[in-house]
Structure formats: structure tokens, C-alpha cells
Structure 1
Amino acid sequence: MASANYGYTSRSPVVLAVTTVMLVCSTVFVVLRLISRIGIVRRLGWNDYFMILAWFLAFATSFAICYGTSVGLGRHEADIPSEWASELRKSEYAFSALYNPALMATKTSILIFYLTLSKTQKIFRWATIVTLAVVNIGGLALTLLNVLQCRPVSAAFASPVSDEATCTDIVTIYLSSAPLNIITDLAILFLPMPILTSMRLPKNQKTILVITFGFGVFVAIIDVARIAYLQQAAKIRLQEIQDHESPRGGPFRNSETDDFSWYASLSFMWSAIEINVGIMCACVPALKPLVSRFMPRILCDGSQIQISMVNGGSMATLSALENVQRLPSISGSPPPNPPPASHSNCDGPVHVMDFLTTLDMNERPQCQRTNTLATIATNATAHTGRSNATFFDFVNVKKKKSMVEMNNHESLFPVLMVTVLFFIWGVAYGLLDILNGQFQAIADMSTGQSIGIHSAYFGGYLVAPLTFGRLVLKHWGFKACYIVGLLIYACGTLVFWPSAVLTSFPAFLISNFIVGLGLSTLEVSANPFIALCGPPKWSEVRLNISQGFQAIGSVVSPLLAKKVLFTLEADSLIDVQWTYLGISLFNVILAIGYYYVPLPEATDSELEKASSHIAAASNASLGNIKIIWITLGLGVFSQFCYVGGQETVSTSFPFFLALVYPSMNYVNLQAIGHTAFAVSRFIAALAGIFVKPRYLLLFFYAGAIAFAAAAMSGHGASPAAMVVMVYFFEGPIFSLIFGQCLRGMGRNTKYASVLLTTAIGGGAVTPLISYGAGQARNVQYAYCVVVAAFAFGLLLPIWLNVVPGVKAIVDPMGAKGKKKRKIEKEDAVGVVSVSLEEIT
């Protein structure tokens, strides 16, 4: 091995020292883990074997980095002797080939351990299996990409490099893999938290468990730090490529113009930290038997009684859960019998929940009593399916109130909590439009490609609601859709990272499509939740208020993007990655928060009961088809047409303005249009207290058609003002369609919501048709597509206002009688005050 001369400016000493220390620390943790598992538990599992494999790979990766520091890693290229070049490239290549397998082995060990946590939590198990598949399939793909980074492969570490060789820039590969690492890190961190926090354990033990499994947050933080150094390396590389053209006519990883050994050294160091810290965090839960043997007081709670055991001189903890065996059930039935004690139970494999919740699993046969208590604790957790269960799960003392039974005051908190989600996807929608334009400018994309990206987003609405969105809503309820939708949305924003790094049109299509999948999963639940949570007569009012906050988000985000996030530099797409990383992390935290927020639900039977007052009207038929199904069909079609027309206006507005009023600032006028859009929703919410929703829908549809037609002619400020008015009349249409089409659906309400949400996919179709019309003549003429879309959508309000049987279903007070109607009108002042309270 060549001796390194550190007389030059060098990062080598720091990289060598830090990498060595981290390897030593991870080695200590692995040794302690093996002592705990072999010496105390006397049993090794597959997770232990994978951890041993992870340590060997971590050792090889760390050795490659340490060896690299002896042959120039951390120095500037100009300071590296030519005879070191080949050895340096070999060490760098070895690191790149070993990095992903080391992470794969560590994460696989953790996830296999998770699979033993609970055999009754099906969602947890399937989520763990999916994460395990993503870790290994994605890791294998990235490993192959690193190994085959050059053609021929030897060009990655050969010196000198053949002129015929071609290589993918290794920093680009590293940055492109960042989303997968972050996504799996966060999944591993948060997957067990719902189980751990719901366990019936003493406070100290539960706190220690949560903290123990929460150590994974350090891995995610380190991964972000590593990415920051990679980001810096990418910028330096881009600058050098601009200053010095590569001799092979393009950027090459280790060309003479690159200073890879200097700017990538800290990235390598942080990669070693990430791998070794991951191993240490993964070993922490396995050290619990060791801690309980030598420091049992750490795991003891004040409510526990410690009884000294003579044999072995160890301590066994009798939890307060022991009292469960002596407590009679509230219903008078005898308490559940503990599982029969047997000596074989102690000699057999230890269940992982017993392993986590008892002090010393090596007691033979005294462990039987402790195992029994741990089993009671585990069963108490496993059989607690809902948050309304009592502490001992003997009987449901109090049942949560269904959302369809709540009054205005009771529904205020849950409606406000879900309205937060409306604002979030409003921000996402607004950023999408601006980001498409920015991406088009930087990557030199055509207008057609930009519209294609926009259509990819709405293409997610055609897929998610009809597939997994429907299943989640049907089987797990409204709140589950929020959590799943937020997590998918977070994944989509992370995938933007490689899209920007690679400046790839297909990758950007994928990231937009994933964002659409996530937000459509949110919307398949959030819209009906707002409509159903509270008195049914104010469904459209509540929905317009919440949708108004969504519109506010779409006003704020473009201004933020233009004024703060984007600059004129060519690397602005790379810079905004940090914003998307922040959005992604925020969504993950929000998803976890919504898991713990108490929100009401409604079963199909409760939804059927809530619509029983109009059962006669909803059973009315036209021919052999029930009127409610005709209404729903027209509603889905109207929603498809409306969203298509709305998105056509949105995507074509900058080109329309450039044609008819080029001196006007697009950003300012777009902000005015979005503001008019938001204001109209709040106005419609207030008007909905006094005016039937079907009248409002007809009015706003007619206004949108009239002003869209007026925008097809003229020049200057007049047609621009007409488009702003189109924005205004578009605003409340969505909520009015959605709310009225859910009325009378009963147990089919969730299915109706799925179809109405899928219809939002019209935003993927109509803009493409308008683009074709604009190419044939001009963008102002293409507004005929908008007029046609709204005209087709007008069929729904015509149907609602013409057919008498429909009125009895969709009118909020249609089937309650004149006396009840009079009482409700006299109470209008109180209703207005409650509605205003919801707005504020």
C-alpha cells in the first residue's frame, strides 16, 4: 500500500479517522448483539444472520474508503501522483459496488425482525413485506447500476481510460438513488410505532421501546447530510464541465477536468457513517436482554413489583398487568384464563413480544410466570382493534359517534382537521403548474411535453381511486385513505429528486403520476368526509368552505414558487429539491399525526340509516334504472367535463395571455384568477345557506360557459378579464356536483365517491384536445374546447332542476315536510353563525 503524504491540502485524515471510528463502534454493537442473542437468549434468527452479513459488507465498504485515503481520496487531483490513479479508482469502484448491498443487508435484518413483532397486525405485516421488497429490488437495481456504470466495466477503474469507453456520472447515480434510501429509512423508522404506542405496558417500558426503535431517525438525518455533500459535489462537477470540456465530448466521471477525489471524499465518509450507524441502530433492540440482565432497574417502572429469584440471582418483573387476572369484567363474565404454563414454553423459541416486554428470558423454568404476563400484555394489544375499546378490552363502554350523526359543533374539529389536507393538495397543485413551466424552460421541453406532464398528474386520478383507493376506503375507512395518500404523495415528491438531477422527461412524468396517485387517494376520502361529517343539509356548504382553503393553497404556492424558490440559474431545479424533500418529510409527519388524531368514521349501515328519510325518493326509478344511479352517472360525466375544462383554462392561460395581452404579467394575473376562484367558493358556501344547491350549480355553470365563450374573441384586457371571470364561476362547481351526487346513495356512498373522484381524471384528457385545437389555429380559438366541456357538464344541473323526482333527493330539505322547513328557516340566523365559525 502506498504511503499517503498529508503535506498537501487534504481531507484524507478526517475521512480516515471518522470512517475507522464508525466501523469500530458498529463492531462493538454487533459483538454485544451476538453476546445477547447467543449467551442470554441462546437463539439466533435470520435477522441476526443478515446483521452479520451487513457487518462484513460494512467492513469491506469502510476498508475501501480507508484504503482510498492512502492513495489520494480526499486530495485534489493535481496533488495525486499518477501511479496512485489506478488504485484510487479501484477503491472508489469497490465502495460504489458495496454501498447498496450493505444498506440492503442492514434493512433486511430490521424488516425480518419486524415480521416477528406481530402476527395479528395484517396491515403492519403487509407494509413490512412491501418495504422489504422495495429495499431488495431497488437495492439490487442500484447495485447493478453502480457495477455497470461504465462500458466496458473495466473503464470504471482502469488508468488510463480508453477513448471508446463511456460512463454514467457516478455522482448522478448516487443522487438518483437518494429517494429510495430516504423512503425506506422513513418506512423502517415509523412502521412499528403504531404497535409500540398501543401496547399496554408500564410507562417506562413503553418509552424505552419507542426510543429504542426511534434511533433510526439518526440514519435518515445522516442520509440527508450525505445528500447535501453529494449535491455540492454535483454543482462543482457541473461547473467544471462548463469550464473545461471533456476530451471525450461529454462529462466523464474521472476525467482530467474533474476533481472527484476531493469533492466526493466527504460524501464517501458520510456514506460510511450512514452504513455503520444503521447497523448500530439495528442492534439496539437486540441488546435488551443484555441490559435487563446487568441493569434491570432501567427497565423497571414504579408501578412494578420486583421479586428476587433465588436461582441465578436474577430479577423478574411482575407487571401491574398481573392484576388483570383478578379483575372481574364489567359485564360480569369471568376474566380470560391465562395460557397454561408448561416447561416446554420456556424451552422453546421466545416470542419477540415477550423478548421485548419482559426483563430476562433466560429463566428456566421461572420464566413461565413472566411469559404469562407478557402474553397478557401482547393479547391486550393484539385484540384492541379500535381506539374506543376500554383499557382491559373486556367491553366497549362508550362507542364513538358516527360522523353522520354529528351536529355542527361536534363536526367542527374533524372538519377543520381534514380541511388541512385540502390546503396541502392546493399547494401541491399550484406548485405543479409552476414547476412544469420551470422544467420546460430548463430542459428545453416543448409545450406538448409540458401538457403531457400535467396530464400524467391527473392520470393518477384515473388509476388510484378505482384500485387501491377503493379498497382502503371500503375496508379501513376514511382516515386510512389520508395516511396512505400522504405517504404516496411523499414518495412522489421524493422521486422528483432524480427527475431534476437527470433532467429527465420520463422521470418527471413518473414523479407527477405518483403525486397524482397520492392526492387522488386523499381526495377519494376527504371530499365525502366533509360532505358527510355533520348535518346533511349543509353538505355543500361545508365542502365549498374546505375546497375554498384548497384554492387558497393554489394561490399561495405559485407566488411562493416564483418569488422564493426559483431563480434564473440553470441549476434551480436541483436547488428546489430541498423544498421537495421538506414537503415529503412534512407529509410523512402529517400521516403519522393523522394516525393518532381521533376522527369519526361511518359504516355502510350507518350511511344507509342516514339517508333513510329520503328512502322513498331514492328508490324512485326511470324505466328500470333508479334515479339516484342516473344522477350519479350524470354527475361523474359532469365532473369529468368540468375538471377537463378547468385544467384546460389553467394550462393554456399563459399562452392565451401571451397572445391577447402580452404586456400583462402572467404571474400577477394568474394570482388574481386563483383568488377569484377561491373567493367564489366562499361566496357559494354562504349562498348555499339560503339557495338550493341545484340552482347554484346551474348559475355557476352558465356563467362559466358565457365568459369562456366571450374570451374567444377580442384583444387586450377584455379577453384577459373574461378568463378571470371564468376562474370565478368555475370555483364552486366541483363541490356542488360532489355533494349533490352523494345524496341518497346510502350504503353505496363510498362507491359513489370513488367514481366521482376518478372523474377528476378529465384533467388528463381535455387539455390534450385543447392543445390539438390550438395547434390547428391558435390558443384563443382552442377555448371552444372549454365551452364544449362546460356545455356537456351542464347536463347535470338541467337534470337536477327539471326532473321532479330528483329534486326530492338532492334538495337538502326536500323530504322533511313544510312544517320542518319553516322551523329550519326560522333558525337561519343560528346556522349562519355556525357556518361563519367554521369558515374562521
Structure 2
Amino acid sequence: MDTGHSNIEGRGPAVLAVSSIILAIATLFVIFRMISRGAIVKRISPDDYLMLVAWLLTFGMTFAVCWGTRYGLGRHEEDVPDAWQSTLKKADYAFSVLYNPALMATKTSILMFYLTLSQTNRTFRWATIATLVVVNAGGLALTFLNIFQCRPVGAVFATPLPDNAKCTDIVIIYLTSAPLNIITDLAILFLPMPILTGMRLPKKQKIILIITFSFGIFVAAVDVVRIAYLQEASQTRLAEIQSESGDSGSSTRDTDFSWYASLSFMWSVLEVNVGVCCACVPALKPLVSRFMPQMLRDRGDVTEKSGTFSLRDQTADMANAHRIPSVISLPDGVDANAHTHASPPREQAEDDGPMGMMDFLTTPEMSEFPSRLDRTQTALTNTTRHTAPDSPAFFDFVNMQGKKSMLHMTNRESVFPISMVTILFFIWGFEYGLLDVLNQQFQRVSHMTAGQTTSIHSAYFIGYFLGPWLIGNWTLHHWGFKACYSVGLSIYACGTLIFWPSAVLTSYPAYLITNIIVGIGLSVLETSANPFIALCGPPEYAEIRLNLSQGVQAIGTVVAPLIANRAFFRENLNAPSLVSTQYAYLGIALFTIALAVAYHYVPLPEATQEELEDAAERLDSAHKASIGRVPVIWIILSLAALSQFCYVGAQEVVGTTFSGYMAKVVSPDWNEANFNAIGHTLFALSRFIAAGLNLFIKPRYLLLAFYIGTILFSALAMHRPGKTGLTMLLLTYFFEGPLFALIFAQGLRGMGRQTKFASVVITSAISGGAVFSPISNHLALDGKGAQYALIVAAVVFGFGTLMPIGLCAAPALARVVDPVSSKDASERPSETSSRASRALSFLNIGKKEQGEGEASGSVEFRERKASA
């Protein structure tokens, strides 16, 4: 037996060496952290104790892997003696049980530390708590799943596996947990960035601070590499599932577990140990500050013998640099002069409370400085709940440039913000096209029934009903338009990451959830992006801007299937081709996360409720009219929601029946993908054409004309055979194109402060795509055929025409939705001038009353000022 140990072969030596070295490095980081916190800061926090627990679990997990290499881990199964099997399985089991608790303890320590960073930023605090819940709930669930991977539990150590035992493939468990690990890794990485980048610090300190908190990206990178090795093990399982004779309950010995799992275990050890190292980095700052302070100080920083910064000098330097001496001020009761030349006695600092970790991170050499002033400095960067936050910037102290409301921008001024948001239109068009192709591939691999196929397609649109109401409405009203982009992109990235376990397990329920989450993410995007395009710039061009942006979106929908079919699948429809798409989705998810972070910093205009209400004001007060007792704006919104619901539902009927139509009516030998691409190209082209026609034709007339086109050609496609019928169906695609933008933009007109709510309503109406496809699919399968199923589309398009018919028939509605031309808009300055005159008159009076009124705190004066 000993001679066997001395002649270890295969991957074992490499796994042992790497695991031992990274454990030693992590141990050093933990020791330095405890020295920094215990000897220098003289205060050990709960997050430090949690880090000790994480290190103990990591040590046990790493030791289990190292011990396993002595008993065959890294060898092929045929080279592992039977006498080693029991010990090897015990080591593997110990690793699998300790892996998730070690990750959970490490991430919990980091998140507990995050809770000390900002007591005033409620959004950051609640986001941290939510992440903390997800980390611990998911970690506990996965831990129990690992513990009870076999039933009975003792069967995990048996060789061979007893006939009455049932075990879950441990590789599948690891892959199932991969999305949760990546999502929480990225959340921990980016959660503090808005606070850190928004702090007003010297440039070098700010760079160091951001880099310090960015080390977590190495954990996510290691996790991705680990998953790549797990994928190698999963391909055999996918091939077995595809074949009818595949046996998902194959034993560990049959799958050569000790060989292919060794590198996965090694990368898991690296992941957890690197996580421990990264979690300790911020806590090492006091240690570095004590022995190498020059690393943390900009050249020219002024310090005193006591090692303190002068808050007054810093404030003065910032003000002089920007020539705005009144921008930064200290709170009442804080005297900057009192701390200019000497630090206060130690007793005073202790009276103000213990110094937090953030004090050390943001003030490198202020170990004797009172924490009250540190909190004052930090508070200078915070905003209250009633103050709109400025755009964060990485290295500036004060935002010198005020933003212009999107409602008051000219066409030239709106080019940049509209271009930035149009990029998002292209992204979700591309992702929708890719999702559609991926759904088809998943259906082939898992041999889904027609009903399951329809339900997966409908699940995406269920997300469109949930997203705007559950997330989009609150985000849009409380954080504004831009916040919806980052939130929507983040949710979408989570949905794409969940594709990993969905594909590995070929699980129908998991794939349903994936589509719902993707739909929620993209619906949150649309809740903000569509009204942003419609509102950003002169109002008379709202439909034109939205159709142009939607046209770019449609181009993405055309391009995505072409790329997917050629790059991912080609003509090989075996199981490994599905595995290859997981890497594409991983890349998309990581790119989407990066995009979400980037859009947090992109300077985009906003519009407050008051500005929206003021922009809706008209001299004729058309938007305030009523029909009966119902305000016209609510009638228009109801018609828009109904029309959007019907339009998207009918559009999906046409899309889902296209394949069956090609096979039954035209010819099964014709290339369906090519003609589908032609249809989507016509769809995109019509949006650009409609944008041009909108310069001359009122939107309500265009909406009616294009609706009539969809009804006419979908009805003709039902009755015409062969190529003629296909041509009619392709023309239906063409007339569908501009409907979305025309409905959305007209639905928002005149809504004023209810504009954001109207956007939520119309966006949620996109969920009509989930309703009518199952009906048409039932008709197609009921012996009627795909051609007869198009009657559903024609009827639903007919109901959608209620909006343009109502707008054209009721003059009160028409006056609201018809764009105000530039000539008509030129009459409005008289109203603006009148308001300006009243404001100037008040200011002249106010100059005389201001001193007395404000000094006495006169309620009458404040009310008069507020009303003006």
C-alpha cells in the first residue's frame, strides 16, 4: 500500500501542489488581517470572526482534496486500487460538503463588512441585505443537497453502489450551483462601487480604494474556469440524455470520476482560497498605512506629525480647484479650524465612538482623527432621499455641469442620449433572436412536445407582465429612467446564467424559469427605454424617434439567428452543440453585467414628475378634457394597452406558425431560416419607412393603415396556396413592424405626471404574446393546419384596430394624440413669458421681504415662495 502512495500518477501531484500553495497564501492573508484589526485598529468585528470560520472551513475542504490525491484523486478509475475507493470517496464527500459552507462564510463576512460602509445609503444597505439572504439561503440549500446526495447517505461510500441506493451526480450539483456563485460573486464585486466611485478623495487614494474592492473579480474568473472543467464532465451526460438509451443513473466508476473531477476540485479550492484572500485585502489597509504610508499618499499631500489630514485644507483645496467656495460646507457644530493644526486628544475620539473600517479605508493616515469628522467627510458625498442624485464620477470632486431635462432638448442635443439608449434596443433585439434559436435547439435535444414548446415561448411574455409591475414601476418612479437600464440588464444577466443548470439538466421547469427571468429583465428595460426615446427631444417627433430605435432593435433580431445557426449549431444537432451555447450565454451574461455597470456612469438626462406635468400643458387644455366623466387621457391609455396586447399577441401567432406554414402550405424542402430572415428584414425595414412617413402623415392614420395591412395580408395568407401565400405572410411581417412604436408613443401623449405609470401599463400589455399563441397552436394541431391557425392573428389584429378607430372617430382623443407642430409650439413662449414675468415680479417683492421673512421663519413667506 505504501509503495502505491509513493508512486502517485496522473493529475494528483499538480492538484496537491496547487492546493497546498494557495492554502498557505490564504492563511497568510488571514493572519495579516487579524494583526491589522487586532494590533493596529484594536477592534475585531463580527466580519473578522466570520472570516476565521471561513478559513477553518476552507482549510478542511482543501485538506480533503490533498488527502484525496494520496488515494487516487487525479488518476483514471481503472488505476485506483479497490482498497483506496472507500477512503477516496470519503475525501470527495468531505470536500463536497464543506465547499458551499466555506463559500457562504466567506461571502457573509464580506457582506457583513459592507453593512458598515454606509449607514445613510438605504439602497446599498437593502441590496447588501438581499444579497446576504440569497448567499445564505442558497448556500444552505446546496449544503443539504450535497449532504444527502445519496439515499441512504451511507451509500456514497459504498463500492460498488448498492442496487437499492439512488445518488445524484455530484457534477450536476456543482454545475447547478454555478449560476448562484457567479451572480453573488458579481453582486459582491459591484455593490460598493457606486459609493466608492462617488466619494470625494484624492485621486491616488480613490484609485487604490477601487482597486482594493475590485480584487473580487479574480474569484469570478476562477469560478468560470472551474465551470469549464465541470463542463468537460457534463458532456457525457448530455450525450446520454439525447440518446433514448441514455442512463442518467450511471455510477461514478463508469464516468471516470476520479480523473475528470480532480481539476474541478482543484479549481474549486482555488476559488474559495482566492475568495478568502480578496476578502482580507480591504482589512489590510491599516497595516500598509502603518509600515508603507507612501503607497497610499498622493505626492504633495500635507500631513502633520500626528499623521492627520487637515479637513479644512482639503475642503479649501477642493473649492479653490473648482472655484466654487460655497459648494462644500461642514454641518452645524463642526469647526474645521479646530482640527487644522493639531489632532484632538484620544479621549475625544473615543467619545465620538469607535472608528469604523471605512474610516481607515478613506483616511489612510488618520488613526488618531475623530470618527465624527470622518463621518462628516463621508456624508458630504451622500444625498438625502428627497434629493436627486448626481451622476457619479470616478475622479472628480464636484459635479460642475447641470443636466438639462430630456423634455427640453433639441434634436441635436438628444442625439447622444438617444444613441446610447438605442444600443440597448439592439441588445434586447439580438438577445430575443438568440433566445428564439436557443429555444428551438433545446426543444430538439430534449424532445419536447408541442405543448411544452408553446409554453416555453409563452413563459418569456409572462415575464413581461411581471417585470413592469413588480420591479419596473418602483424603479422608474424612485430612481428614474437610467436606473431601469442597470436593473433590467442585471436581471437579464441572471436569467442567462441560469441557462447553465437548465441545459445541463435538460430540465423543462428550469428552462421555463430561465425564460421568465429573461422576460422580466428585458421588460424592465422596455419600461424605461421606450418612454425615454419618446420623451427625449421635441415631442412632435416622438413616433419617429421610437420607430428608428425599434428599427435598430429589429436588425438585432435579424442578425442573431444568423449568427447562432452558423456559429453555434451549424448542421450538427447533437448534445455537445447545446453545451457550446452555454459558453455563448456566459459571455453574454458577463458582457451584460459590464454594460449594466457602464450605464450607471453614462450621463443621461432625466425628467421629474413636475417636468412631465409641465411638458403636457397645452393652451387648449386638450389633455384635460373628458368624455362623460372619464378623462380622455385614461381612455387613450386603455386603448393603447388593449392595442398593444392584441398586436404583440397576433405578432407571436404569426411568428410561431411560420415554421408549420412553410412545411404544410409551401414546401418542407424550402429553407425555413432564410425566409424567416426575409420576414424579419421586412419587419425592420417597415419601421424605418414609417419613421419617414411620419413626417407627413399623422400617427393615428399610419397606425390604422398598418393595422389594415396586417389584417388583409394575414387573411390572404390563410386562403392562398404555395408561393403566393408565403408572399402574403411575409407582407404581414412588413405591416406589423411600425405598430409597436405608434401605439406606445401615442399612448403616452398628454399623460403628464402619469407618464411613467402609462409606460408601465403599456409595457405590461406586451404579455399578450403569452395568450394567443397557445390558441393558434391548438387549432394547428386540431387537424386544421398552420394556415387555418392564422385566423387567430387576423381576428386579434382586428381588435387592435379599436385604438386607431377610436382616435380617428373621437375629436377629443385626436386633439391629444396629434403631435403639436413646431409652428403651433411657437405660440407657447407667450405662456412661458407670462410665467417668467410673474416670477420676476415675485422676486422683486421677495428681495424686500426675504431678510425679514426668512429671519422670522414666516410661514406666509415660505408658502408664497413655494407657490411661485
For normalisation by structure 2, the TM-score amounts to 0.89
- The 8 Å contact of residues 615 and 744 in structure 1, kept in 2 or not, is answered as no
- Offset at 1:148? 0.9
Kindly provide the amino acid, as one letter, of the partner of residue 428 in structure 1: E
- Offset at 1:771? 1.3
- Offset at 1:388? 6.5
Kindly provide the amino acid, as one letter, of the partner of residue 810 in structure 1: V
Structure 1 counterpart of 2:797, from 786, 790, 793: 790
What residue in structure 2 maps to residue 779 of structure 1? 786
Distance, in Å, in 1 between the alignment partners of 2:324 and 2:282 is 35
Asked whether 1:274 is paired with 2:271, we answer yes
- The 8 Å contact of residues 484 and 524 in structure 2, kept in 1 or not, is answered as yes
- The 8 Å contact of residues 11 and 265 in structure 1, kept in 2 or not, is answered as yes
- Offset at 1:376? 3.9
Structure 2 counterpart of 1:345, from 342, 346, 349: 349
Unaligned runs of 5+ in 1: 310-314, 822-840
Structure 2 counterpart of 1:298, from 295, 298, 304: 295
Q: Within 5 Å, which residues of 2 pair with 1:607-646?
A: 607-613=612-618, 616-646=621-651
1:378-436 Cα offsets, whole Å, 9 max, x none, are 12212486227999999997531100000000000000000011001101111122112
Percent same amino acid at aligned positions? Answer: 57
Kindly provide the amino acid, as one letter, of the partner of residue 346 in structure 1: E
Report the CA distance shift for 1:75/1:338 in structure 2 as closer, same or farther (over 3 A).
farther
Distance, in Å, in 1 between the alignment partners of 2:431 and 2:651 is 16
1:128-155 Cα offsets, whole Å, 9 max, x none, are 1111111111111111111111111111
With 145-154 and 324-333 compared, the bigger mean Cα shift is at 324-333
- Offset at 1:345? 2.7
- The 8 Å contact of residues 242 and 446 in structure 2, kept in 1 or not, is answered as no
Report the CA distance shift for 1:38/1:700 in structure 2 as closer, same or farther (over 3 A).
same
Report the CA distance shift for 1:326/1:727 in structure 2 as closer, same or farther (over 3 A).
closer
SS in structure 2 at match of 1:381: coil
Asked whether 1:283 is paired with 2:280, we answer yes
Report the CA distance shift for 1:333/1:770 in structure 2 as closer, same or farther (over 3 A).
closer
Distance, in Å, in 1 between the alignment partners of 2:245 and 2:86 is 23
Distance, in Å, in 2 between the alignment partners of 1:142 and 1:533 is 47
Kindly provide the amino acid, as one letter, of the partner of residue 249 in structure 2: P
What residue in structure 2 maps to residue 231 of structure 1? 231
- The 8 Å contact of residues 168 and 252 in structure 1, kept in 2 or not, is answered as no
Report the CA distance shift for 1:710/1:344 in structure 2 as closer, same or farther (over 3 A).
same
- The 8 Å contact of residues 242 and 575 in structure 2, kept in 1 or not, is answered as no
Asked whether 1:56 is paired with 2:56, we answer yes
Q: Within 5 Å, which residues of 2 pair with 1:684-695?
A: 684-695=690-701
Structure 2 counterpart of 1:809, from 813, 816, 820: 816
Kindly provide the amino acid, as one letter, of the partner of residue 304 in structure 1: D
Distance, in Å, in 2 between the alignment partners of 1:232 and 1:392 is 44
- Offset at 1:258? 2.2
With 352-361 and 617-626 compared, the bigger mean Cα shift is at 352-361
For normalisation by structure 1, the TM-score amounts to 0.92
Report the CA distance shift for 1:394/1:577 in structure 2 as closer, same or farther (over 3 A).
closer
With 391-400 and 740-749 compared, the bigger mean Cα shift is at 391-400
1:55-110 Cα offsets, whole Å, 9 max, x none, are 00000000100000011001111111110000000100110111000000000000
- Offset at 1:330? 5.2
Distance, in Å, in 2 between the alignment partners of 1:268 and 1:330 is 58
What residue in structure 2 maps to residue 321 of structure 1? 314
Distance, in Å, in 1 between the alignment partners of 2:519 and 2:304 is 58
Report the CA distance shift for 1:250/1:561 in structure 2 as closer, same or farther (over 3 A).
closer
Distance, in Å, in 2 between the alignment partners of 1:459 and 1:240 is 32
Report the CA distance shift for 1:502/1:2 in structure 2 as closer, same or farther (over 3 A).
farther
Unaligned runs of 5+ in 2: 336-343, 829-868
- The 8 Å contact of residues 649 and 772 in structure 2, kept in 1 or not, is answered as yes
- The 8 Å contact of residues 544 and 685 in structure 1, kept in 2 or not, is answered as yes
What residue in structure 2 maps to residue 769 of structure 1? 775
Asked whether 1:719 is paired with 2:750, we answer no
What residue in structure 1 maps to residue 520 of structure 2? 517
Q: Within 5 Å, which residues of 2 pair with 1:209-288?
A: 209-236=209-236, 250-255=248-253, 257-288=254-285
C-alpha RMSD over aligned residues:
2.6
Distance, in Å, in 2 between the alignment partners of 1:647 and 1:442 is 23
Report the CA distance shift for 1:392/1:4 in structure 2 as closer, same or farther (over 3 A).
closer
- Offset at 1:157? 1.7
With 175-184 and 1-10 compared, the bigger mean Cα shift is at 1-10
Kindly provide the amino acid, as one letter, of the partner of residue 214 in structure 2: G
Distance, in Å, in 2 between the alignment partners of 1:699 and 1:640 is 18
1:25-68 Cα offsets, whole Å, 9 max, x none, are 00000000000000000111111011000000000000100000
Structure 2 counterpart of 1:700, from 697, 706, 709: 706
- The 8 Å contact of residues 483 and 594 in structure 1, kept in 2 or not, is answered as yes
Structure 2 counterpart of 1:464, from 447, 463, 467: 467
What residue in structure 2 maps to residue 101 of structure 1? 101
Distance, in Å, in 1 between the alignment partners of 2:233 and 2:252 is 13
Asked whether 1:419 is paired with 2:422, we answer yes
Report the CA distance shift for 1:535/1:362 in structure 2 as closer, same or farther (over 3 A).
closer
What residue in structure 1 maps to residue 452 of structure 2? 449
- Offset at 1:664? 1.7
Distance, in Å, in 1 between the alignment partners of 2:155 and 2:245 is 19
Distance, in Å, in 2 between the alignment partners of 1:765 and 1:334 is 58
SS in structure 2 at match of 1:600: coil
Q: Within 5 Å, which residues of 2 pair with 1:26-45?
A: 26-45=26-45
Report the CA distance shift for 1:674/1:289 in structure 2 as closer, same or farther (over 3 A).
same
Q: How many residues are aligned here?
A: 808
Structure 1 counterpart of 2:662, from 657, 664, 669: 657
Kindly provide the amino acid, as one letter, of the partner of residue 268 in structure 2: S
With 623-632 and 517-526 compared, the bigger mean Cα shift is at 623-632
- Offset at 1:580? 0.4
Structure 1 counterpart of 2:443, from 416, 432, 440: 440
SS in structure 1 at match of 2:303: strand
With 699-708 and 371-380 compared, the bigger mean Cα shift is at 371-380
- Offset at 1:377? 2.6
SS in structure 2 at match of 1:721: helix
Distance, in Å, in 1 between the alignment partners of 2:812 and 2:378 is 55
- The 8 Å contact of residues 433 and 651 in structure 1, kept in 2 or not, is answered as no
Kindly provide the amino acid, as one letter, of the partner of residue 119 in structure 1: Q
- The 8 Å contact of residues 613 and 815 in structure 1, kept in 2 or not, is answered as no
- Offset at 1:302? 1.8
Asked whether 1:553 is paired with 2:546, we answer no
What residue in structure 2 maps to residue 824 of structure 1? none
1:738-770 Cα offsets, whole Å, 9 max, x none, are 001111111110111000000000001010111
SS in structure 2 at match of 1:780: helix
Report the CA distance shift for 1:334/1:174 in structure 2 as closer, same or farther (over 3 A).
closer
- The 8 Å contact of residues 41 and 361 in structure 1, kept in 2 or not, is answered as no
Distance, in Å, in 2 between the alignment partners of 1:55 and 1:683 is 63
Distance, in Å, in 2 between the alignment partners of 1:243 and 1:689 is 58
What residue in structure 1 maps to residue 341 of structure 2? none
Kindly provide the amino acid, as one letter, of the partner of residue 266 in structure 2: M
Kindly provide the amino acid, as one letter, of the partner of residue 24 in structure 1: A
Distance, in Å, in 2 between the alignment partners of 1:333 and 1:297 is 28
Report the CA distance shift for 1:280/1:746 in structure 2 as closer, same or farther (over 3 A).
same
Asked whether 1:354 is paired with 2:359, we answer yes
- The 8 Å contact of residues 488 and 524 in structure 2, kept in 1 or not, is answered as yes
- Offset at 1:346? 3.4
- Offset at 1:14? 0.4
With 623-632 and 535-544 compared, the bigger mean Cα shift is at 623-632
1:503-537 Cα offsets, whole Å, 9 max, x none, are 00000000000000000000000000000000000
Distance, in Å, in 2 between the alignment partners of 1:801 and 1:244 is 59
Kindly provide the amino acid, as one letter, of the partner of residue 587 in structure 2: G
Asked whether 1:208 is paired with 2:215, we answer no
1:757-791 Cα offsets, whole Å, 9 max, x none, are 00000001010111122222221111110001100
Asked whether 1:128 is paired with 2:133, we answer no
Report the CA distance shift for 1:184/1:393 in structure 2 as closer, same or farther (over 3 A).
closer
Distance, in Å, in 1 between the alignment partners of 2:22 and 2:656 is 52
- Offset at 1:655? 1.1
